[in-house]
Amino acid sequence: MAINVKVLDRPVEQVSYVRATLKGMAQTFKHLVNREKRHQVTIQYPEQKWDLSPRWRGTHRMLTTETGKAKCVACGLCPTVCPANCIKLVPGEDEQGNRYPLVFEIDEFRCIFCGYCQEVCPEEAIHVGRHYENAEYSRDGMVYDLERLMAQTHPVSDLWDPADPKGE
C-alpha cells in the first residue's frame, strides 16, 4: 500500500532559504559595522571581568570580629536550614566559656548557593560571596574549613536591601 504523503502547496517566500539567509547575514553585518557598547556581549576575560549583581551568591566567607575571631557562635541554624546538607558544624567551648565552632566546614561542591545560611545566621557571620573564581586541583580543595572561610577577602552578597529589608 502506498503511503499517502500530503504535499502542501506553500508560497515560495515561505519555503525558500535564500530570504532567511540574507536576513541573518544582514543582522551579522549590522553588528560588524555598529560598534556601539550595548551590542557588545563578549568580554576579554580574564583582563576584563563581569560586574556582579549585589545579590550574586557565590562561595562563602566567614566574617570576623575586630579581634580576628570568627563571628560564628555555633548555633547550628545554618546546618539545619541548609537544603543540600553541605555544612558540617561541631560546637565547642573556649576558655571564657563562650560557644564557638570547633569544626565548621562547607562542602562547596555540594552547596547549591541558595543563600539560606546567610539569611538564617543570627550573628551575620556566614555569608555567600560575590565571587566566582573557585577552580581547584583537587576535590578536597572544595571543602572549605573555618580558617579558609575566614581568610576569604571577596565582597559578600547583599541578599536584601538594608534600607528596605522586606522588599516593600
Partner 1 sequence: MADVKQVTLTIEGRPVVVPEGTSILEAAKTAGILIPHYCYHPGLPVAGVCRMCLVEVEKFPKLAPACATAVGEGQVVHVHSPKALEARKGVLEFLLINHPLDCPICDQAGECELQDYTFQEGRADSRYLEPKRFNPVEDFGGDVLYVTNRCILCTRCVRFMDKVAQEPVLNVSERGDRATIGIHPEADLGGHAWSGNVIDLCPVGALVSKDFLNKARAWELDRTASVCPNCTQGCNSILETRDDTVVRMRPRANEAVNQYFLCDQGRLDYRWLERRDRAELPYVRAQTARGGTELAATDWDVALREAAALLNGRRARVLASPMLSNEALGLLARVVARTGGTGVFTVRTGDEAPLVGVPDLALRADRAANVIGAELLGFERREIGAVLDGLGADDVLVVADEELAGLAPTLPAGVRVLVVGTTVPTWAAGADVVLPITNMAEEEGTFTNLRGRVQRFLQAKAAHGLARPSWYVLGDLLAAMGDGEGYFTAADAFAALAAAQPSFAGLSYDALGLRGLPVADAERFAAEPALAGAA
Binding site for partner 1 (CB under 8 A): 73-77, 80, 91-93, 97-99, 122-123
Q: Which is nearer to partner 1, 58 or 101 (CB)?
A: 101
**How near is the Cβ of 78 to partner 1 at its closest, in Å?**
11
Provide, rounded to whole angstroms, the least separation between the CB of residue 138 and partner 1: 27
Distance CA 53, CA 130 (A): 8
Taking the least distance from each CB to partner 1, the nearer of 133 and 168 is: 168
Residue 65: CB atoms within 10 A of its CB come to: 10
Encode burial over 124-134: b for 16+ CB neighbours within 10 A, e otherwise.
ebbbbbbbeee
d(CA 56, CA 50): 11
Q: How far is the CB of 97 from partner 1 (least distance, A)?
A: 8
Q: CA torsion 70→75→80→86, rounded to 10°?
A: 20
Nearer to partner 1, 24 or 92 (CB): 92
Strand runs labelled E in 11-115 = 58-62, 87-93, 99-107
Q: Which is nearer to partner 1, 11 or 97 (CB)?
A: 97
Angle at 77 between CA 74 and CA 79, to 5 degrees: 90
Q: Residue 49 CB, nearest distance to partner 1 (Å)? A: 36
